[in-house]
C-alpha cells in the first residue's frame, strides 16, 4: 500500500510539472507576438518622417499619355496649306531638379519603322544647348508602342494609333526623360535650358514650319525655332517657349529683337544633313 501511495504521489507531481511547462510556453509565444506587433507599428510610423518626392518626379509619367501636360506651355506647328492643314505637331518640355522632361503629340500620314538608320524611322529629335554634339532622339521600332532611343535618354515611350476619318492616318505621342547626368554640364542653370525640337518621318511633309523657308518639308520644326543653333526654344519649369516669346516678354512687346526667321541659314538646313547631324550617331540604342 505504501508503494502504491508513493507511486500515485510521484505521478501527480509529474503531471503538475507538465502543465506548468505548457502554460509557460503559451505565455512566451503571446509575448513574442505582441512584441512583433509593436515593432511593425513603430516601423510604419517612421515613414511619416520621410520627405515627399519632388512634385516633378510624379508630375510627368513617361507612359505616352499626355494628360499630365495640359497645364504646361507648348509650341506647335500646324500645316498651312490645303494638303497639309490636317497635320500638326505640338512639343512640350519642362525642367525639374532631376532633369528634362520632353513630349510631343503628332498627327501625321506616314508611320515608319524597321529601317537601318534611326533617322529613317518616325522620330522625335532634340538638342540640348546649341551644337550638334548634344543630340538626343526617340524613334519608332515597331507597331503601336515599340520604340528605341539614344543612350543619353534615360527613358522614353512612343505610342502610335491608326486613325479613321480624322484627317490624318496616324496619331503619335512621345514622352522622354533626360536626367542631369545626361545633360551638358550635368546641371540646369537657373532652371532654364536651350532645347531645339523636331519631328520627322521620311516622305511625310508639312508646310508652314521653319524648314525649307516654310515650304513643304519632312523636318517638322515650329516657325521661329531651330534644333541646334541660337534659335533653339527655351525650356523652363512651366513649359517651352520660342525665343521670340522670351524676347517679347523681356522687351515688353511682340517684336523679336533680331527679327531673324532663321531663313539665312539656307542650305545648312537641307534635308540631307539635318536629321543626320550625327556627332553622336554611333550611340548605342537601348
CATH of the domain at 102: 2.60.40
Backbone angles phi, psi at 275, to 5 degrees: -90, 0
Q: Could you tell me if 82 and 136 lie in one domain?
A: yes
pTM of the model: 0.71
Q: Could you tell me if 130 and 33 lie in one domain?
A: no
pLDDT at 78 over 90: yes
Q: Could you tell me if residue 113 is inside a domain?
A: yes
Among the residue ranges 8-12, 203-207, 239-243, the one predicted with the least confidence is 8-12
Q: Could you tell me if 184 and 115 lie in one domain?
A: yes
Greatest extent of the chain over all pairs of C-alpha atoms, in Å: 127
Q: Could you tell me if 99 and 184 lie in one domain?
A: yes
Q: Could you tell me if 110 and 232 lie in one domain?
A: yes
**Of 36-40, 213-217, 244-248, which has the strongest mean pLDDT?**
213-217
Q: Could you tell me if residue 85 is inside a domain?
A: yes
Q: Could you tell me if 44 and 69 lie in one domain?
A: no
Q: Which domain holds residue 188?
A: 62-274
4 burial class (0-12, 13-18, 19+ CB within 10 angstroms)? exposed
Q: Could you tell me if 221 and 95 lie in one domain?
A: yes
Give the mean pLDDT of 225-241: 97
Q: Could you tell me if residue 90 is inside a domain?
A: yes
Q: Could you tell me if residue 284 is inside a domain?
A: no
Dihedral angle of Cα 138, 140, 142, 145, to the nearest 10 degrees? 70
Q: Could you tell me if residue 179 is inside a domain?
A: yes
- The mean pLDDT value of the chain amounts to 77
Q: Could you tell me if 83 and 40 lie in one domain?
A: no
Under 8 Å between Cβ of 63 and 175: yes
Nearest to 150 by CA among 173, 127, 184, 180: 127
Q: Could you tell me if 233 and 128 lie in one domain?
A: yes
Q: Could you tell me if 186 and 241 lie in one domain?
A: yes
Give the mean pLDDT of 101-127: 97
Give the residue, 103 or 280, on which the prediction is more confident: 103
CA 278 to the chain's CA centroid? 22
Q: Could you tell me if residue 53 is inside a domain?
A: no
Q: Could you tell me if 225 and 126 lie in one domain?
A: yes
Q: Could you tell me if residue 153 is inside a domain?
A: yes
Structural domain count of the chain: 2
Q: Could you tell me if 108 and 217 lie in one domain?
A: yes
Amino acid at each position: 500500500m505504501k508503494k502504491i501511495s508513493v507511486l500515485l504521489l510521484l505521478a501527480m507531481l509529474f503531471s503538475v510539472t507538465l502543465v506548468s511547462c505548457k502554460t509557460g510556453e503559451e505565455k512566451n509565444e503571446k509575448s513574442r507576438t505582441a512584441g512583433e506587433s509593436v515593432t511593425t507599428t513603430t516601423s510604419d510610423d517612421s515613414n511619416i518622417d520621410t520627405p515627399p518626392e519632388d512634385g516633378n518626379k510624379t508630375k510627368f509619367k513617361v507612359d505616352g499619355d499626355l494628360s499630365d501636360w495640359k497645364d504646361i506651355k507648348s509650341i506647335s506647328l500646324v500645316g498651312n496649306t490645303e494638303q497639309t492643314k490636317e497635320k500638326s505637331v505640338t512639343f512640350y518640355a519642362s525642367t525639374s531638379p532631376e532633369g528634362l522632361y520632353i513630349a510631343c503629340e503628332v498627327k501625321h500620314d506616314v508611320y515608319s519603322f524597321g529601317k537601318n538608320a534611326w533617322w529613317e524611322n518616325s522620330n522625335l529629335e532634340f538638342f540640348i544647348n546649341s551644337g550638334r554634339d548634344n543630340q538626343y532622339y526617340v524613334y519608332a521600332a515597331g507597331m503601336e508602342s515599340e520604340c528605341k532611343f539614344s543612350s543619353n535618354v534615360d527613358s522614353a515611350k512612343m505610342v502610335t494609333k491608326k486613325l479613321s476619318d480624322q484627317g490624318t492616318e496616324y496619331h503619335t505621342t512621345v514622352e522622354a526623360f533626360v536626367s542631369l547626368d545626361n545633360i551638358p554640364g550635368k546641371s540646369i542653370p537657373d532652371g532654364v535650358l536651350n532645347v531645339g525640337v523636331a519631328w520627322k518621318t521620311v516622305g511625310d511633309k508639312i508646310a508652314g514650319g521653319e524648314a525649307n523657308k516654310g515650304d513643304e518639308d519632312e523636318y517638322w520644326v515650329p516657325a521661329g525655332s531651330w534644333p541646334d543653333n541660337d534659335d533653339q526654344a527655351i525650356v523652363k519649369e512651366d513649359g517651352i517657349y520660342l525665343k521670340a516669346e522670351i524676347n517679347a516678354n523681356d522687351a515688353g512687346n511682340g517684336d523679336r529683337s533680331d527679327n531673324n526667321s532663321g531663313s539665312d541659314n539656307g542650305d545648312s538646313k537641307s534635308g540631307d544633313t539635318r536629321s543626320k547631324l550625327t556627332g553622336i550617331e554611333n550611340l548605342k540604342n537601348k
